[in-house]
A and B are shown apart, each in its own frame.
Chain A
Amino acid sequence: MSNAASNESSRSRGKAPAGERVADWADGRLGIYSLAKANMRKIFPDHWSFMLGEVCMYSFIIIILTGVYLTLFFHPSMAEVEYHGSYVPLQGQLMSQAFESTVNISFEVRGGLLIRQIHHWAAVVFIAGMLVHMMRVFFTGAFRKPREVNWLFGFLLLVLGMFTGFTGYSLPDDLLSGTGIRFMQGAILSMPIVGTYLSMFLFGGEFPGTDIIARFYSIHILLLPGIMLGLMVAHLILVFYHKHTQFAGPGRTEKNVVGMPLLPVYMAKAGGFFFLVFGVIAAISAIATINPIWNIGPYRPDQVSTNAQPDWYMGFSEGLIRIMPGWEINFWGHTLVLGVFIPLMVFGLVLVAIAVYPFVESWVTGDKREHHILDRPRNAPTRTAFGAAWIALYFVLLVGGGNDLWATHFHLSINAITWFVRIGMFVVPVLVFIATKRICLGLQRRDREKVLHGRETGIIKRLPHGEFIEVHEPLSQEQLHTLTAHEQYKPAEIGPAVDENGVERKVKASEKLRAKLSHAYYGEGNQIEKPTLEEFKEIEAGHGHH
């Protein structure tokens, strides 16, 4: 900035200003000018929901910064030590060095507690942010071509984020996270054939052993975040390369992007937003405590506390495991632990559903064009309903994961809640699917009314013959365009039953399925025809005669 300011004065001296000379030097070696030419004035559209991804990126950066600080004090060792620090209620207790060093970070290192809390709160916000960011992308159809690969990158970031969070939550070796590791070990044991071997290899012997914290440590601070950093960079590069999507509106087409340039507006807004995110998380960490391990105590496999839950992002898997009936099949001297193994598989399926959706939808539509104009959720009722149903399932499972707290806070029976979740995980998503679709169609009808008959003004007029009417104000062309800009697909039909040579061909099952799905998406009653020009003109002509 200061270099730019001194431009004028130095130019008068007949020599390029220092800033320019540095830039020239770099360009001669790195070729930065062509990069800058393409990106410096890159256009980004303005919408608050486009900043959700930034929330994730910034909290990830915050996590890395604070995480590096924490590694300076944390000892990832399970060697037993006696505590003699300043926290009285743990005085003289046996604990692992991992636990002791975490307590020391909290009570002996100035600002250590703050950094720990920022690290953990940022993790909670990071994954919540990713989920909401993905909802935005999903409900607006931003995952369509050409962005399917970026959707997958985002999906991988979510899954890796969950596991990085889980390993981090486990590092202090406290009674709560130790119970979580115990659960993980039980889940691994349930895997047919390989379970016991995997468990022995992961823990370096029997549970809990003395290796797991050190192994989780290298996974938590190196392996997973390393992959995530790479994915995040790739994710960002693709966002730049594809250029950002935008909502329909006057002047916004599939062939352009409307907004403000990276330099200076987005530099200031996005850069500023980093500080805003960091500031909010720092303030939260000053106000609210998270994971107070000194209250939880060191891990001992024969101790436990009620309210034993993982961090929220693993809550749905906790729900799955809590509601599962205790099925176990014994045969030929072997045990198939379905009560644990089925939830483990369903956990994977719930996540994989996210990853494959874009490909399912593009198969159903057969659409191979690029899409840069976003859908309003109401204009894709079936997709929106699928998304809402997924969220409903996720939420019902979260309820199952916290069933003990629901029981105590709402004075309910924990058994009743468990049964509710057992049935609800099948029923609630269906109900939500139907309701969401109805709501979307209702909103589409309202849009149609608005286009054809104008906006209801709320002004009641009495006509000379005594009739009362509400005055409808016609929409501006901008509004008309925005409300009719979306595309509507026609449902796909099964192709002709005979081929070009008149020979009867076999209609493949996949083809039938696709036609069925296509009808469910775009068939009669599954979307409201948007008003046509003819309809509009007819009604307008009618009004003229009034």
Chain B
Amino acid sequence: MSSKRILMGNEAIAFGAMKAGVQIASGYPGTPSNEVMETIASHAKEYGIYAEWATNEKVALETAVGAAYSGANAIVTMKQVGLNVASDPLMSLSYIGVKGSLVILVSDDPGPHSSQTEQDTRVFGHFANIPVLDPSTPQEAYDMTLLAFELSHEMETPVILRTTTRVSHGCADVVIGDIFPVPRDIEGFVKDTRWAIFPKLTAQRHPLLEDLQLRLSDRFSEYFGDNSFNSVSKGSSRIGIAASGVSYLYAMEAIRALSGVFPVFKTATVYPFPEKAALEFLKGITDLIVVEELDPYMEEQFLQLAGKHHLNVNIYGKKNGCFPVSGEYDVDVVIDGINSSLEKGNTDIPGLSHSLPAINLKEVPSLPIRAPTLCAGCMHRTVFYAFKKAAGKLRSQKDIGSVFSGDIGCYTLGNARPLNMVDTCLCMGAGISIAAGLSHTQEYSSNGKAKQVAFIGDSTFFHSGIAAVVSAVYNNADITIAVLDNRTTAMTGHQPHPGIGITAVGSPAKIIDIAEVLKSCGVGLVRTIGADSLEGCIDAATEAMQFEGPSAVVFREKCIAISKGAGQYIVDEDKCTGCKLCISQLGCPAIFSITSGLPVIQDTCSGCGLCAQTCPSAAIILKEVLQ
């Protein structure tokens, strides 16, 4: 039996995995991949699945690898930059292979909307010799998840299921099959030399790995004709279009007015590239327009193929400037790209036209810039402001400057005006190590002394902060670590982590106390305080920054997005002098003013009281007090 439901692409993948009989699921949160694990975890008890959030993507992958070695069906989930963290086990795993099945869900983020990079996992799969499936819709994501588990088991290789934001975070009506409790029939781990990588084993396995790539390429070519993931449609012209993922849909919508003109090559099995089918397609055309987001991966495959077989085909894509090399595509981007290709190709096919907006956009009045910002009542704002104040004291009293290294999470938003508290940000866990690196340059600097401060969130601390702390202590880096412990993995949608005593499926777990970890690593000064008192935070920040050698403060307060506020503040207009420090210093989204008026606090105020503590005229008071 099957049923039709509205599912987000990520949910569809989770249902696909459960339909395929996944037994073990691990992952680390990262937008846009989160809902795959969240959906599996929420059904874990019902279907008897083991689901967990691991401390990072490398750990998650290795956990899933162990499960797959024993014959289990396993999935591991992460975002594209998470794959970088997991790349060490990944690169070795392709040689070793798996026994049960292992699907690696990796979500790419063209744009990017919520990421540090615009990397392309299709290329990563190519680099790692691991097959990559690239669905274009939530339905295809569901169907290809089933295929991924089958392929992984049959070929004894991990399989990457790669999505992009628009597949992961789009909803559609999806037909899914009934799901049953998972079988408990795996063989278990069988000792064998194949599981222990060693230079000799690598040398033996490498030719087999390369042979597998050829077999998979052939298999994927065979899919043309007998499954809907890969297809070739005929056209009246000799100008072909090749596309994969969501770009295929944009291309089809773009050429709708000229339907039947362009032959179209669509593949969802992008690596190993289905060369035989692609070659067949190339032989029937004179020009090829490649429509793909992120890297010119397919374009390079086609160029290579045309070169290898001396084919006289013009290929248009990113490499000759017809399509943008970065950013997300949509129908309008693809129309421009196809038109640019048609023009370059000097064809007699008319260009495609855009639909004209109803309103002359030049007449729209200027709009406010609305950058993402920390929530009203977010504890991070108090901590950032406290460090700003403490740094001011350090500068005025001791002529010591401060550098603030940030990290990945909600608190990256501390970079926005007026806080301006993120001087560096690179990747998960980098803040502490970068601060250490900066501190070691102190004696080479001719520009005076600067204290190095690293901000790191609770989940990021467990992800990759601890190794950096150990190294900083070992090498006596003069840094202050500010742990922004809001008791959740906030930015990605509030997943639990090892510090809060609850697992992915809601079971109780041992709490790993961050302050105790810092102490056991040998950090000289470790304080834990709440973030409700600005003065208390300034004192703690000052003490830590004036400490010589590694010091740390754990600021602990519940994330305001998932907790009840403490009331609402209001501006007492009789007392307010209109200095607007509450606005110019804090940037809280609950407070605004128009140029001529006094500050106004909106309904979104959650009562953290930071503005009240900042106001020099005591003009911000709790609503109940005024009434």
**A joins B in a complex:** no
Q: Which residues of A contact B (CB under 8 A)?
A: none
